[in-house]
Structure 1
Amino acid sequence: MTLGALGAAIGVPAAGAATVTGVTLRASDARPGDLFAALPGSRAHGADYAEVALAGGAVAVLTDPDGARRPAMAGVPLLVHPRPREVLGAVSALVHGDPTARLRVLGVTGTSGKTTTAHLLEAGLAAAGRTAGLVGTVGTRIDGRRLPTALTTPEAPDLQALFAVMAEDGVTDVAMEVSSHALALGRVAGTRFAVAAFTNLSQDHLDFHRDMEDYFEAKAALFDGRAEHAVVCVDDEWGRRLAARTPDAVTVSTTGPAAWRALDARTGPDGTQSFTALAPDGARLPVRLQLPGAFNVANAAVALACLDAAGVPAAVAAEGFTRVTVPGRMQRVEEGQPFLAIVDYAHKPGAVAALLDALRPQVAGRLIVVLGCGGDRDRGKRPRMGAAAAARAELLIVTDDNPRSEDPAEIRAQMLAGAKAEPHAGDLMEIGDRRAAIAAAVAYAKPGDAVVIAGKGHETGQEVDGVKHPFDDAAELAVALSAALKGTR
């Protein structure tokens, strides 16, 4: 695209001439022909790094009036917009040929369930013979081929480039997670959605959003008309509010009236589940899941409704669901131990409660839970997470998650305060070293118990003082299980 054409598309004149072949937010990643998006930030302005981008081959800069006044911008072809982040998605889409015009994008937002629902969507699409892409927290895939990922929803330039690659590789449909950050920061601007889905809302990210209302409004932005179809789970008050203001929304519920309903859910002794999906036309469809937990029944029902809206027969989609497992989401770790061992990503109060409530009917013995909270994030949820776990576990071991720049002992203290205030709390322990905490949980476990390592799920690192150390909960749990079994033989 010429700089002039891009400027006309976003309503600003171009200062200078250039032909743009790519877009980047990171100055160090600039390649010849790129437009460098120099955005204002909380700590620095992107324009301060423009010289690095220009040295890498960037041919023009998108910035705000403050950035345009930097000395380094003299003589540089510019697009100056008062709110450059708001137009970055549209600009990126234009440069990459508007790739989502050639794709059906199924976007899932909500506090919990995005990852699992996206994986179910991918499986249902594949079962229908479509070539599927996946964009989300656990990873990005193109027709089953994995790509590296860093954010739940990539920044707009990376996302549009990814969509372009998917379209070139023959992808027809994309299942993607859409975070509240992505919606608030415009990462999905310029993306065309065939289907938008909402799972649920509970406290999280209040370090970024002012309050729950602000958090809700960020999620609700996906339903502002940008999607052809809307699917909303109405099992919580937030979903009911969203459905009420989205007249054409297809509703989903596991508890009450809705267009799609999940009925007669049953859990097998091995944790697998089955339920009957009641479609809007009254048809009844059996659904089987490898995924345990009542919340995964809701996720599957949402996925069915989305796939139906995208033209995938529900029976075909349901067949695709039967084999789905998701790393770090109710992930079983088996080393021959006589008790259940689970790794899960639950890292907010509602998710911790839902996880343990889902496991309780499957566990004849005790729930032994290892849980921490991340640093530099929503501090208000720490005591609530401690309370949610303490109320449901016979033993809660409070440990470190990703303390980042904070004092890990202070994070643990905040969690323990909530746990100790819970009137029905079980036993409590504090072991800061996460590896030692996992080993202690395994050592306490007896036949019929369940050891639950929560909070980090699929993550393969632990961030302490700005340094990410290798750490994989599932791998550490497997090592602890193996060591304990050897010790008993």
Structure 2
Amino acid sequence: MRLSEILHLIPSPTAQLAYDPDIYSVAINSRTVQKQTLFFALKGTHLNGADYIPQALTNGADAIISETPISEITHSFPDDFPILYLANAKHLLALAASQLAGPQPTSIAAITGTNGKSSTAEFLRQLWSLQGKNAASLGTLGLITNANIPPPPSLTTPDSISLANTLALLAKNNVQHVALEASSHGLEQHRLDGVKITAAGFSNLTRDHLDYHKTIEAYRNAKTRLFADLLPHTGIAAINADMDPQTVRDLTHIAANRGIKLRSVGKRGTSLRLIHHQPTPSGQTITLALNGEELAPIDLPLPGLFQAENALLAAAMCWENDNTAYDVLKLLPSLTGVRGRCERAVELSNGATAYVDYAHTPDALEHVLASLRPHTTGRLIVVFGAGGDRDRGKRPLMGDVASKMADIAIITDDNPRSEDPTLIRAEIKAACPDAIEIADRRAAIAAGLDALQAGDILVVAGKGHEQGQTVGQTVLPFDDRQVLRELAGVA
């Protein structure tokens, strides 16, 4: 593919190229550059790709797109070497990566939201698979598929090059249905701009990532890009109608302006309304109305209202037209739980149970505690913390949730990173003064287990599927599920 052809992927003035090389790959890491590579020198939060242009040239780059104006680059270039300035090179990168990687799966659903992205994506993959379709999910839990292909980097939304290559590999392996998580970072950084999305879902929006986005409005705007810019007007759009009213209004407005038919789910949903949910020993029984018509109760083998909401959002993204909606809903009893999401890790001989959940925001913690409360005949105990180098404002909010909703709260460390963990715990405890403070996470989990009496439930929140504890720059092996099972003697 010629450089001029790549430049024509965006509506910009045609560059005058003295040399128009063939381009076979794109790169954002100068170490991966080779001959016939177009190097994108992007501006990051901590690094500037322009500083790595000399290494890209040494490794054989045939052209460079820079987000830094050429006049600010001090390095000299060979005569006629094509180096171009583009303020938003990330958008072109995503389009170029997609073109070079090759065809993508025919059905690609993207799910955004503060909480529930992983579960919704995995439930959607399961629903497709239950219909006999080759499917995959991609996000925080990695790549889940029966196809034998290498996983992309461990990010909620991989960089646009890795994402394009993974989607092309899935298509080559006859996986034509993919559900992927769309993080606010990924959307704002244009990583999904080259993805041919056919369906979009929005689970909820609560406080998170304000260390990056600064305001809730900017955070919301980043996420609504999925509906405003990336989903074609003919695509499937589904939202949880029970999330904050402002996000619902914004999405409704976007859909109306673009002529998108919006499917809404939840207690306020019009497409799929949750009329009633009743906890059961194995999950819950839910009663739904499909487009206003009440259906027979459905046994959903997943505990918690938030899991029902995620399953309904997945279902609404799954059916292609309303005539097949009921066939999809009949598959809900066959869903299985998602790793690290309200996952029952241990059941003791006295009937007490311990769950692991990824909840690391105030809203997520509130949801998992509220959802498990009906399943206990005794006390609700929670072990939790908050991450370092992240939004500090949510720490007292999480402490307040634990103080109000748990009978016993144990504050511990959860990925302190470069911060002093003592100060993190203090910021949480300011809103949860009666909590027990145990710095060592294993010891905190042990204390939670020791406190369990008949009918009690323990929730270990924050890590979910994660298998490490980040202290400084070091990731120490740590798996909440494994620790629980070891301490309970069932590992």
Task: Give the Cα separation in 1 of the matches to 2:239 and 2:481.
Answer: 32
* Equivalent of residue 18 in structure 1, options 10, 18, 21: 21
Task: Give the Cα separation in 2 of the matches to 1:184 and 1:137.
Answer: 18
* Equivalent of residue 354 in structure 2, options 312, 326, 341: 341
Task: Give the Cα separation in 2 of the matches to 1:201 and 1:294.
Answer: 16
* Equivalent of residue 340 in structure 2, options 325, 328, 347: 328
Match status 1:453 vs 2:466: no
Match status 1:193 vs 2:197: yes
Secondary structure of the residue aligned to 1:418 is coil
Deviation at 1:55, TM superposition (A): 4.1
Task: Give the Cα separation in 2 of the matches to 1:448 and 1:360.
Answer: 11
What's 1:303 paired with?
A: 314
Match status 1:233 vs 2:240: yes
Task: Give the Cα separation in 2 of the matches to 1:433 and 1:337.
Answer: 26
Match status 1:45 vs 2:48: yes
Instruction: Verify the 8 A CA contact 1:278 1:284 in the aligned structure 2.
Output: yes
Instruction: Verify the 8 A CA contact 1:373 1:455 in the aligned structure 2.
Output: yes
Match status 1:36 vs 2:39: yes
TM-score when scaled to structure 2? 0.91
Question: Which residue identity is paired with 2:281?
Answer: P
Secondary structure of the residue aligned to 1:61 is strand
Deviation at 1:65, TM superposition (A): 4.2
Instruction: Verify the 8 A CA contact 1:39 1:45 in the aligned structure 2.
Output: yes
Match status 1:289 vs 2:293: no
Secondary structure of the residue aligned to 1:208 is helix
What's 2:252 paired with?
A: 244
Match status 1:93 vs 2:108: no
Task: Give the Cα separation in 1 of the matches to 2:106 and 2:297.
Answer: 30
Task: Give the Cα separation in 2 of the matches to 1:40 and 1:148.
Answer: 22
What's 1:256 paired with?
A: 268
Match status 1:273 vs 2:284: yes
What's 1:2 paired with?
A: 2
Instruction: Verify the 8 A CA contact 2:152 2:163 in the aligned structure 1.
Output: no
Task: Give the Cα separation in 2 of the matches to 1:258 and 1:316.
Answer: 18
Q: How many residues align?
A: 475
What's 1:372 paired with?
A: 385
Deviation at 1:205, TM superposition (A): 0.8
Deviation at 1:316, TM superposition (A): 4.1
What's 1:405 paired with?
A: 418
Task: Give the Cα separation in 1 of the matches to 2:68 and 2:153.
Answer: 32
Task: Give the Cα separation in 2 of the matches to 1:144 and 1:449.
Answer: 41
* 1:162-177 equivalent positions in 2, closer than 5 A: 162-177=166-181
Q: After superposition, what is the alpha-carbon deviation per residue over 1:422-451, rounded to whole angstroms, capped at 9, x for unaligned?
A: xxxxx4111111111111111111121111
Question: Which residue identity is paired with 1:46?
Answer: G
Specify whether residues 144 and 169 from structure 1 end up closer, same or farther in structure 2 by C-alpha distance, changes over 3 A only: closer
Question: Which residue identity is paired with 2:400?
Answer: A
Deviates more, 1:65-74 or 1:202-211: 65-74
Match status 1:213 vs 2:217: yes
What's 2:395 paired with?
A: 382
Specify whether residues 73 and 122 from structure 1 end up closer, same or farther in structure 2 by C-alpha distance, changes over 3 A only: farther
Task: Give the Cα separation in 2 of the matches to 1:290 and 1:71.
Answer: 61
Instruction: Verify the 8 A CA contact 2:347 2:353 in the aligned structure 1.
Output: no
Task: Give the Cα separation in 2 of the matches to 1:385 and 1:174.
Answer: 33
Instruction: Verify the 8 A CA contact 1:24 1:158 in the aligned structure 2.
Output: no
What's 1:317 paired with?
A: 328
Deviation at 1:320, TM superposition (A): 4.3
Instruction: Verify the 8 A CA contact 1:373 1:382 in the aligned structure 2.
Output: yes
Question: Which residue identity is paired with 1:113?
Answer: G
Specify whether residues 428 and 155 from structure 1 end up closer, same or farther in structure 2 by C-alpha distance, changes over 3 A only: same
Question: Which residue identity is paired with 1:26?
Answer: N
Task: Give the Cα separation in 2 of the matches to 1:162 and 1:42.
Answer: 25
Specify whether residues 470 and 73 from structure 1 end up closer, same or farther in structure 2 by C-alpha distance, changes over 3 A only: farther
Match status 1:467 vs 2:478: no
Question: Which residue identity is paired with 2:370?
Answer: D
Q: Unmatched 5+ residue regions in structure 1?
A: 421-426
Question: Which residue identity is paired with 1:154?
Answer: P
TM-score when scaled to structure 1? 0.91
Question: Which residue identity is paired with 1:165?
Answer: L
Specify whether residues 170 and 417 from structure 1 end up closer, same or farther in structure 2 by C-alpha distance, changes over 3 A only: same
Deviation at 1:148, TM superposition (A): 5.2
Match status 1:135 vs 2:138: yes
Deviation at 1:259, TM superposition (A): 1.9
Specify whether residues 429 and 336 from structure 1 end up closer, same or farther in structure 2 by C-alpha distance, changes over 3 A only: closer
* 1:58-77 equivalent positions in 2, closer than 5 A: 58-66=61-69, 69-72=72-75, 74-75=77-78, 76-77=81-82
Secondary structure of the residue aligned to 2:486 is helix
Secondary structure of the residue aligned to 2:211 is coil
Instruction: Verify the 8 A CA contact 1:330 1:343 in the aligned structure 2.
Output: yes
Q: After superposition, what is the alpha-carbon deviation per residue over 1:327-371, rounded to whole angstroms, capped at 9, x for unaligned?
A: 110011126443110000000001100100001111111111110
Deviation at 1:73, TM superposition (A): 5.6
Task: Give the Cα separation in 1 of the matches to 2:483 and 2:57.
Answer: 45
Deviation at 1:20, TM superposition (A): 1.8
Task: Give the Cα separation in 2 of the matches to 1:203 and 1:55.
Answer: 44
Match status 1:179 vs 2:191: no
Instruction: Verify the 8 A CA contact 1:373 1:401 in the aligned structure 2.
Output: yes
Task: Give the Cα separation in 2 of the matches to 1:240 and 1:195.
Answer: 17
Q: After superposition, what is the alpha-carbon deviation per residue over 1:438-477, rounded to whole angstroms, capped at 9, x for unaligned?
A: 1111111112111110011111111111111111111111
Task: Give the Cα separation in 2 of the matches to 1:337 and 1:27.
Answer: 56
Deviation at 1:128, TM superposition (A): 1.8
Task: Give the Cα separation in 1 of the matches to 2:261 and 2:209.
Answer: 26
Specify whether residues 191 and 185 from structure 1 end up closer, same or farther in structure 2 by C-alpha distance, changes over 3 A only: same
RMSD between superposed Cα atoms in Å: 2.3
